[in-house]
Amino acid sequence: MDARNDTGTSRYHEVYARAQRDPKGFWADAAREIDWFEPAKKVFDPDAGIYGRWFTGASCNTCWNAVDRHVATRGDQAALIYDSPVANSKRVVTYHRLLTEVQILGAILKNFGVGKGDRVIIYMPAVPEAVFAMLACARIGAVHSVVFGGFAARELATRIDDAKPKVILTASCGLEGARVVPYKPLLDEAIRLSTAKPQTCLILQRPQCEAELTPGRDHDWKTAWNYAMEYAWTSDCVPVLATDPLYILYTSGTTGIPKGVVRDNGGHMVALKWSMKNLYNIDPGEVWWSGSDVGWVVGHSYIVYAPLFHGCTSILYEGKPVGTPDAGAFWRVCAEHGVVSLFTAPTAFRAIRKEDPQAKLLSGYDLSKFRALFLAGERADPDTVQWAEQVLKVPVIDHWWQTETGWCIAGNPLGLGMLPVKHGSATVPMPGYDVRVVDEACKELAAGKIGSIVVKLPLPPACFPTLWQQDERFKESYLAEFPGYYKTADAGFKDEDGYVHVMGRTDDIINTAGHRLSTGAMEEVLAAHPAVAECAVIGIVDPLKGEVPCGFIVLKAGVNMPPSQVEQEIVALVREKIGPVASFKLALTVARLPKTRSGKILRGTMKKIADGETWQMPATIDDPAILDEIGTALKGRGVGG
């Protein structure tokens, strides 16, 4: 029987129960799918690290498992298909070719003095060289940190100062639809702002906008590559400990200082490899597409690492779901490359639906190989899921994720046998995740009751063991509030079937077009404007992007600038300091902000007013009239019910 459509006899419950009963045995079995130089001394060591570590004593190499080991059996198979409607370019990179690329780039990095444990920042668009760069770092034991191209110079500078990279790899520009985004000015400004100056930058020149190189610091990618090729430079896979860091990925925290999520080598390989068959139901050799960006965790795990560990062909798409050139772009890519499953954010499907509600552009494309759509990054609204199910006629699977975990926390394991889909739920916890819903006192709540979603420690392999050089912040942010549990900072409930329903964040993180952003970081930018006395940023419902930020400002007494000018300036300031990806376009001047008597801004109530939801007057409010003022200000901009 085909497990793909089998709702009656899923092996999920049996497999999950085994992982709970015997986690070491379960993950030791999964680890057999990975090549190790030295096997683990302990599958799990509860005394290592902060909450224990997986595969202690083992040595391995992530690049070997992603590339080298496949060359003998599938050297001529495409490892990567780069498809860029914005650069009007396509490129197939076989496993054999990928090996050559990473050997050379690894050698170039070594020549720049990069060795085991050194950090390398990768600030690049979705081009094959970004993937080569990640794998080349893994090959030589260096720790990469990819920074998303939509972040501004200041965000890059913060990451440079925290990671202290020896080398930065970048490209001359990114392509945002028809807009060319030069990266070099952003790079220069970031290095100017940072205190930890990198010695070397390697720059990939793109024909759409070539960069002028800074003498002594910048090197041309192509020239370095040609030189290395001519002199037959190469690099070998360096054995690293399973517990050594593979990468740091910065993600929004509740302040302007992002959190450096650390991913290790061993546990990461084991869990991701397991997920390809058991969760996504993909076989080696099949074509898989994660429509994300290499700058996000989904891009790390499912454009680069997992599909390559599994010997798949992975699509690297540089474009948008709409406008490059139209809302049929995703269907074109799926048909042209024989994609069996696509993983993207619900916002991408909302964008397609808005442009082409009848999915007319689908006709003419052969999607006969297409088996399933996976959605994550934000809650998949039932409307969008239903629409996708109707037009694609395949299972549409919502699954819940965090940068911190590196892979799915709750999903529908197609490879174990699909469970019935419930719209609005991410389905069930994956093996190794003991998901509970608790109240403030960490008491478990009954089915159907909304509370904080926590995961009992230890977290399974691939989840972060700590924050980069910030063990205390890790403990404080994630482990302190609910002792013995990892705080996901998501709220939701489990229903009577054990299905997990994730409803939203409990902190000031918002999700805009599947991108994770901190409203606290935006407030820091607003507060720095000389005319602003006080401010609050909340996420408000947006039909396309899920949520967008909305800023409220109170001007200082005596400011003689028109409020509209201050509003325009703060919109520009957020774009400049955080980046266009923040989508900060709405700023409102108000006379006062609603607060509790102890001075806390009532952001939750403001959000309800903006979203047109019913709300109750908080008992602790200082002056109830202010909420009417907020409602009036929002209505003035066409927001709120």
Q: Report the partner that residue 378 touches, choosing among ligand COA, ligand AMP, none (CB closer than 5 to 8 A by kind).
A: ligand AMP
Asked if 377 touches ligand AMP (CB under 6 A), the answer is: yes
Specify the amino acid at residue 286.
E
| Whether the Cβ atoms of residue 41 and residue 257 lie closer than 8 Å to each other | no
Judged by CB under 6 A, the residue of 108, 376, 396, 522 near ligand AMP is 376
Q: Tell me the angle at which helices 23-31 and 266-278 cross, rounded to the nearest 10 degrees.
A: 90
Task: Give kind and range of the element (H or E) at residue 184.
Answer: helix 184-193
Three-class SS of 297-344: HHHHHHHHHHHHHCCCEEEEECCCCCCCCCCCHHHHHHHHHCEEEEEE
By a kind-dependent CB cut-off of 5 to 8 A, residue 630 interacts, out of ligand AMP, ligand COA, none, with none
**Cα separation of 631 and 610, whole Å?**
7
User: Which of ligand COA, ligand AMP, none sits in contact with 502, Cβ below 5 to 8 A by type?
Assistant: ligand AMP
Q: CB-hemisphere CA count at 13 Å for 193?
A: 18
> CB-wise, 187 or 375, nearer to ligand AMP?
375
Residue written as tokens 């190189």? 213
Shortest Cβ 548–ligand COA spacing (Å): 8
Query: Are the C-beta atoms of residues 501 and 425 closer than 8 Å to each other?
Result: yes
* Identity of the residue, 65 or 425, whose beta carbon is nearer to ligand AMP in the bound complex: 425
Pairing relationship of beta strands 546-555 and 532-542 according to DSSP bridges: antiparallel
Kindly state the tokens that stand for 164. 């202290």
| Residue of 70, 337, 371, 505 that binds ligand AMP (CB under 6 A) | 505
**Least distance from C-beta 362 to ligand AMP, angstroms?**
24
Shortest gap between Cβ of 297 and ligand AMP (angstroms)?
5
Phi/psi region, residue 638 (left: phi>0; alpha: psi -120 to 50; beta: rest), is left
Task: State the amino acid at position 379 in one-letter form.
Answer: R
Residue 45 forms beta bridges with which residues? 53
Q: Which residues bind ligand COA (CB under 6 A)?
A: 149-150, 174, 176, 181, 292-293, 296, 298, 320-322, 344-345, 347-348, 351, 376-377, 512-514, 545, 580-581, 583
Q: Which is nearer to ligand COA, 347 or 477 (CB)?
A: 347
- Chain Cα centroid distance, residue 418: 25
379 sits near ligand AMP (criterion: CB under 6 A): yes
Q: Which is nearer to ligand AMP, 105 or 248 (CB)?
A: 248
Shortest distance (Å) from residue 74 CB to ligand COA = 27
User: How near is the Cβ of 569 to ligand COA at its closest, in Å?
Assistant: 17
Could you tell which of ligand COA, ligand AMP, none binds residue 398, using a CB distance below 5 to 8 A set by kind? ligand AMP
151 interface partner picked from ligand COA, ligand AMP, none, CB below 5 to 8 A per type? none
- The phi, psi pair for 312, rounded to 5°, reads -90, 175
Residues 345/350/351/352 CA torsion (nearest 10 deg): 100
- Binding to ligand AMP (CB under 6 A) within 233-272 occurs at 251
Q: Return the residues of window 380-419 that contact ligand AMP according to CB under 6 A.
A: 380, 398-403
Site string for ligand AMP, 440-479 (x = CB under 6 A): ----------------------------------------
Judged by CB under 6 A, which of 15, 262, 362, 426 binds ligand AMP? 426
CB of 188 to ligand AMP, least distance (A): 28
Q: Which two tokens stand for residue 432?
A: 């190794």
Q: Encoding tokens for residue 573?
A: 């300031």
Q: Which residues contact 440 (CB under 8 A, 6 or more apart)?
A: 452
Q: Which residues bind ligand AMP (CB under 6 A)?
A: 251, 297, 376-380, 398-403, 426, 490, 502, 505, 511, 516
